[in-house]
Structure 1
Amino acid sequence: MPYIQDSKYDISIPFWHKNAHFSTIYAAKVKRFSSPNYIREKLELQDGDFLNIDYKIQNNDKAVILCHGLEGNSQRTYINSCSDYFLKQDFSVFAWNNRSCGGEMNRLPRLYHHGTIEDLDEVIQFALTKDIQEIYLIGFSMGGAQVMNYLGRIPEIDSRIKAGVAVSVPVEVKASADSLKKGFNQVYMKNFVNDLTRKLKEKSQQFPELMDWNKIKNINNFDYLDDNFTAPIHGFEDRNDYYFKVSPARSMEKIKKPVLVLNALDDPFLGEGCFPIQLATNHSFIHLETPKYGGHCAYPVKNSIYSYAEIRALEFFKSL
């Protein structure tokens, strides 16, 4: 499918947002967007854990399921903005929280990661119980990886799932982890590490015999955190095994639903392997758009309260 190198976003971007860090920080820390008037429901999972889902049904014909990024939740600005935009377009919206996200710690030792497709499937099945006829998936960063992994790894996908959009997605997770070690990008990594460390400390109280929690005090980067906690908690050999297996690069070729991958070339979270131009060009279902600008999950648009991500997502869905 098309490799869209000349993105329309590069024409509409405000000049002061041509700095990737400015765009990324503005979107994450400065921009504000209130959440819709959701219903929150606790979805009990088959393994005894739960997920909190915020949703608003106004049209049973079509709905979007929104997947947040690492250490995000259903109330983040980029989720609220996307939700509001699609609600105004007469879609129903389901914004879900990964385990431990959304203000409530989950019950089991496991947390979540880029390949958490079983939980996404539970959310999809929940939406289908509400008699939704068409479902569209939108994921941001790690959530984009979950969308792509779901569409590439679930053998039989319900015909009511029509398409997906993955925004600022780490197609190769190791490349993303490596990018966050460089220069100013370490500020983002430190924030993630601090948040995850707090959760691990809480897990150590829940499950004191599970592992050697004393190692928590040595966490100062993703390498150590993923080797000693993320990988063993979720059944991987080490961080490299984890990075390799949860990367959408392993599942992309098997995707058989239309997917738009929107990855800015200046995204400070992305590295080599996150712009699969050759694969997308020769793939029947993957559309790759690589704007020159956009930052990470930012894409501000001049004279608009919405971002290019949700505007482009709707345009993509309507084109199918």
Structure 2
Amino acid sequence: MDASHAPAHGRIIDSEFRPHRWLRGPHAQTIVPTLLRPSPPLDFDVETLELPDGDFVRIGWAGAPHPGQRVAVLVHGLTGGFTSKYLRGLAGLLIARGWRVAALELRGGGAQPNRLPRNYHHGDTGDLRFLLKVLHDRDPNARLAIVGWSLGANIVIKAMGEDAAASPVEAAAAASAPFLLEPCAQKLDTGFARLYQRRLLIDLKRMVGRKYPPLKAPPGVDLAAMQRARSFIEFDDAYTAPMHGFRDARDYYARCACGAFLKTVARPMLVINARDDPFLARDIVPRASELAPSVTLELTRRGGHVGFIAEGQRGRLTYWLETRLADWLETAVPADHT
């Protein structure tokens, strides 16, 4: 395409997704996959990856390896991991199409506590970017793609925007992305969404608290206030912000929100969000002018948070999001590339 006719920005499209007739509401779409979906069968070969600062993350490998193949790095959401059903579902689809999968278990998120006081957070792109470098160094001909959900979506988008044209990744995808973090934190402290917030806070407090002792919290981190926190803003004020060098929760939200990084993404990227997502504020969706030309934002009317359950034959539940992501990755990183 002639440079004078190249698009100045990305595009926003309406999705073809239609929810299951019995699961049209946002909470049903969000809760049913967690409670009723059987875990997709998948065996990970787990690698402990040592990090430059002396800590570690774990990588769950699946799919037969061979040089120069397509590798999809999958990044889970808040309090997720190798057991996340959406991650396992997509991994299975990709492996069946010849991909190798590397699931990144974010720092501190696994069964074994990490070594340093800090854990992962929405802006923590360093470990993902280090993993991508390691994968490229191991096999310069490997063709890399990354996918993230929710918090993982924020990390993926931010990393792609930070690296821009220097990214070793051929394509990226994200789902249920919290483009602006502060409005989303406020949304989760209202109405029915407080139930999601309470459940996630229980898991976060358990994840952080198991490290103290033997570790000692750095100055400024108030572990007692963290354990008392009844909202994400209180939790992030007491722990996340001071632990990771932010002035307070709002400074953390402002500096780490992925929406600001969409303009500098230089590789093909698909972002899928539902307009009825109960985790996200409704007015955070970026305009097309705020997207890089390589970015497509696909919006569904319904779908909840990392839900997107459609109806299959005889009314069975089908997980549309995983098929949509796998199909898009096949187009963005085709197997017959030479």
TM-score (norm 2): 0.88
CA shift, 1:192, in A, is 1.0
Mapped contact 1:115–1:246 kept (Cα < 8 A): yes
The percent identity for this pair of structures is 28
Cα distance in 1 for partners of 2:25, 2:117 equals 39
**2:200 match:** 192
CA shift, 1:76, in A, is 0.8
CA shift, 1:309, in A, is 1.8
Which residue identity lines up with residue 70 of structure 1 in the other structure?
L
Change beyond 3 A, Cα 1:314–1:216: closer
**2:210 match:** 202
**1:314 match:** 326
Which residue identity lines up with residue 294 of structure 2 in the other structure?
F
Instruction: Render the CA deviation track for 1:203-227: whole Å, top value 9, x for unaligned.
Output: 3313335344332342111111111
Q: How many residues align?
A: 315
CA shift, 1:265, in A, is 0.5
Cα distance in 2 for partners of 1:309, 1:268 equals 17
Change beyond 3 A, Cα 1:133–1:180: same
Matched, 1:234 2:244: yes
Which residue identity lines up with residue 145 of structure 1 in the other structure?
N
Matches within 5 A, 1:129-168: 129-131=137-139, 133-154=142-163, 157-159=166-168, 161-168=169-176
Give the counterpart of 1:71 among 79, 97, 120: 79
Matched position secondary structure for 2:101: strand
**2:3 match:** none
Which residue identity lines up with residue 274 of structure 1 in the other structure?
I
- Large movers: runs of 4+ above 6 Å: none
Matched position secondary structure for 1:94: strand
Matched position secondary structure for 2:193: helix
| Unaligned residue ranges in structure 1 (runs of 5+) | none
Change beyond 3 A, Cα 1:214–1:287: same
Cα distance in 2 for partners of 1:116, 1:198 equals 20
CA shift, 1:157, in A, is 2.6
Cα distance in 2 for partners of 1:114, 1:78 equals 19
Which residue identity lines up with residue 146 of structure 1 in the other structure?
I
CA shift, 1:150, in A, is 0.4
CA shift, 1:61, in A, is 1.9
Which residue identity lines up with residue 296 of structure 2 in the other structure?
H
**1:286 match:** 295
**1:176 match:** 184
CA shift, 1:34, in A, is 3.2
Change beyond 3 A, Cα 1:126–1:108: same
What is the aligned-residue RMSD (CA, Å)?
1.8
Which residue identity lines up with residue 329 of structure 2 in the other structure?
F
Instruction: Render the CA deviation track for 1:52-83: whole Å, top value 9, x for unaligned.
Output: 11012425421111100011112211111011
Choose 294-303 or 81-90, whichever is displaced more.
294-303
Cα distance in 2 for partners of 1:4, 1:297 equals 18
Cα distance in 2 for partners of 1:38, 1:111 equals 23
Matched position secondary structure for 1:64: strand
Cα distance in 2 for partners of 1:128, 1:310 equals 26
Cα distance in 2 for partners of 1:305, 1:74 equals 22
Mark the structure with the bigger radius of gyration: 2
| Unaligned residue ranges in structure 2 (runs of 5+) | 1-9, 333-338
**2:274 match:** 264
Which residue identity lines up with residue 190 of structure 2 in the other structure?
K
Cα distance in 2 for partners of 1:247, 1:216 equals 22
CA shift, 1:318, in A, is 3.5
Matched position secondary structure for 2:108: coil
